[in-house]
């Protein structure tokens, strides 16, 4: 079914058929009679214009690339979902890429998606570098980075308000009296990890103590890393009274490690973490957590993306504020913007006063 078929069967030229179907009838003075006729034929034949041909001509693919480290992780799945739903209204579809937490794959995917002519790229980067993304952006492919931000990244970034969240989370521990707090870090060089650590340390300083480097372990946002880091911390500081996990999987790992060592939570060791778990209330150890508003994160990212494409955002206006006035000098483009989404603190039973 091509437009040509429709045109022939309607007894008009291809151009007329095209205009009739695209609502350009008035503009090009196609008579109502002709318009209806074409429409009817198209309906009867079940005609669907080839987006490929259309893309070629219009130089607009209607495709948005989304690259995440692991789609089966609900956090990223939710983001992918929000983007998918958000851009759909504007006629876009989402091309999905799973980088399996590897920068090399991320790069390959980015190239592959570019070849498919995606009009924009939304990436949750995996590694510590994203020169390839910056290059793409410079080459004219709008890139938006979500969650795993880096410093001086020169790309529009959407994240949670990690500083504030970390501070609040830390204060829960500090007010309960904890001073020897172990930190399960995510990817060290990533901005979320750095910012959260900074938030924690700020809170500690205000309470009159510091958290030394030996109290920080781990280097990935994974359960395994949380488990290993906890073991490491407990070896180094058997007198640890609390654990501050930078993501939920790490907290799960910590719980496993603590259980293995016979520690009770929060009796022997309190635990707080970033990100909630859908059925947290049914867990043996209901964690006190800083909840990221994932769907808002996804929506915001989508809006930033659509804005960069000069399209109307999807209805829910971009309600976060660009925070940092300007990053590292460089060109004063809008792509040094940072967008932040507030988090919610959820107190649960995993924090008690230290008994040691």
Question: Within positions 24 to 43, which residues make up the interface with DNA, using CB under 7 A?
Answer: 24, 28-31, 33-34
Q: CA 122, CA 70: separation in Å to the nearest integer?
A: 14
Nearer to DNA, 38 or 220 (CB): 38
Per-residue binding letters, 263-292, with DNA (x by CB under 7 A)? ------------------------------
351 binds DNA (CB under 7 A): no
13 binds, among DNA, its own copies, none (CB under 5 to 8 A by kind): DNA
Nearer to DNA, 45 or 163 (CB): 45
Q: CA 70, CA 67: separation in Å to the nearest integer?
A: 9
**CB of 309 within 8 A of CB of 92?**
no
> Which region, judged by CB under 8 A, interacts with its own copies, from 93-101, 153-161, 172-180, 342-350?
93-101
Nearer to its own copies, 130 or 255 (CB): 255
255 binds, among its own copies, DNA, none (CB under 5 to 8 A by kind): its own copies
Q: Among 129, 216, 171, which residue's Cα sits nearest to residue 347? A: 171
CA geometry: angle at 73 spanning 68 and 76, to 5°?
40
The residue assigned the tokens 């939304």 is: 122
Q: CA 335, CA 179: separation in Å to the nearest integer?
A: 40
Q: Is 132 left (phi over 0), alpha (psi -120 to 50) or beta?
A: alpha
Q: CA 302, CA 85: separation in Å to the nearest integer?
A: 9
Half-sphere exposure for 112 (CA within 13 Å, toward CB): 13
Per-residue binding letters, 259-298, with its own copies (x by CB under 8 A)? ------------------x-x--xxxx-------------
Q: Which of 45, 49, 163, 207 binds DNA (CB under 7 A)?
A: 49
Upstream peptide bond of 227 is cis (omega within 30 degrees of 0): no
Q: Among 308, 337, 334, 268, which residue's Cα sits nearest to residue 122? A: 308
Q: Strand 93-98 relative to strand 63-68: parallel, antiparallel, unpaired?
A: parallel
Helix axes 131-138, 103-115, angle to 10 degrees: 20
> Which region, judged by CB under 8 A, interacts with its own copies, from 34-42, 106-114, 198-206, 341-349?
106-114
User: Minimal distance in Å, beta carbon 144 to DNA?
Assistant: 24
54 binds DNA (CB under 7 A): yes
Question: Within positions 85 to 104, which residues make up the interface with DNA, using CB under 7 A?
Answer: none
Nearer to DNA, 16 or 107 (CB): 16
210 binds DNA (CB under 7 A): no
> Which region, judged by CB under 8 A, interacts with its own copies, from 54-62, 197-205, 229-237, 325-333?
54-62
Q: Which of 23, 46, 57, 72 binds DNA (CB under 7 A)?
A: 57
Q: Among 279, 272, 282, which residue's Cα sits nearest to residue 347? A: 272
Dihedral sign for Cα 164, 168, 169, 174, please. Answer: positive
* Residues within the interface to its own copies (CB under 8 A): 46, 48-53, 55-56, 61-63, 66, 70-74, 77-78, 80-81, 84-85, 93-98, 100, 111-117, 139, 252, 255-256, 277, 279, 282-285
């Amino acid at each position: 079914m091509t437009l040509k078929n429709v045109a022939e069967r309607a007894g008009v030229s291809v151009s007329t058929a095209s205009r009739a179907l695209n609502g350009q009838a008035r503009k090009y003075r196609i008579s109502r009679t002709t318009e209806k006729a074409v429409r009817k034929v198209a309906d009867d034949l079940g005609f669907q214009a080839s987006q490929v041909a259309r893309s070629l001509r219009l130089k607009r693919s209607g495709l948005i690339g989304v690259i995440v480290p692991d789609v089966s992780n609900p956090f990223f799945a939710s983001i992918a979902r929000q983007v998918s739903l958000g851009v759909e209204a504007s006629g876009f579809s989402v091309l999905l890429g799973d980088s399996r937490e590897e920068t090399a794959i991320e790069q390959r995917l980015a190239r592959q998606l570019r070849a498919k002519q995606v009009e924009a790229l939304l990436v949750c980067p995996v590694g510590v570098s994203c020169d390839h993304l910056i290059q793409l952006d410079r080459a004219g492919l709008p890139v938006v980075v979500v969650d795993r931000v880096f410093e001086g990244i020169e790309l529009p970034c959407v994240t949670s308000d990690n500083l504030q969240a970390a501070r609040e989370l830390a204060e829960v521990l500090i007010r309960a009296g904890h001073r020897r707090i172990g930190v399960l870090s995510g990817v060290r060089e990533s901005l979320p990890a750095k910012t959260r650590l900074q938030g924690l340390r700020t809170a500690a300083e205000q309470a009159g103590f510091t958290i030394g480097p030996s109290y920080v372990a781990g280097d990935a946002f994974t359960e395994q890393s949380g488990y290993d880091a906890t073991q490491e911390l407990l070896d180094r500081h058997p007198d640890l009274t609390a654990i501050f996990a930078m993501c939920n999987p790490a907290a799960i790992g910590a719980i496993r490690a603590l259980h293995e060592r016979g520690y009770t939570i929060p009796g022997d060791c309190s635990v707080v973490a970033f990100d909630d778990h859908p059925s947290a209330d049914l867990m043996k150890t209901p964690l006190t957590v800083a909840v990221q508003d994932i769907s808002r994160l996804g929506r915001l990212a989508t809006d930033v993306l659509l804005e960069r494409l000069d399209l109307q955002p999807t209805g829910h206006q971009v309600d976060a504020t660009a925070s940092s006035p300007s990053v590292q000098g460089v060109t004063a483009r809008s792509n040094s913007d940072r967008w932040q989404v507030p988090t919610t603190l959820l107190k649960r039973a995993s924090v008690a006063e230290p008994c040691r």
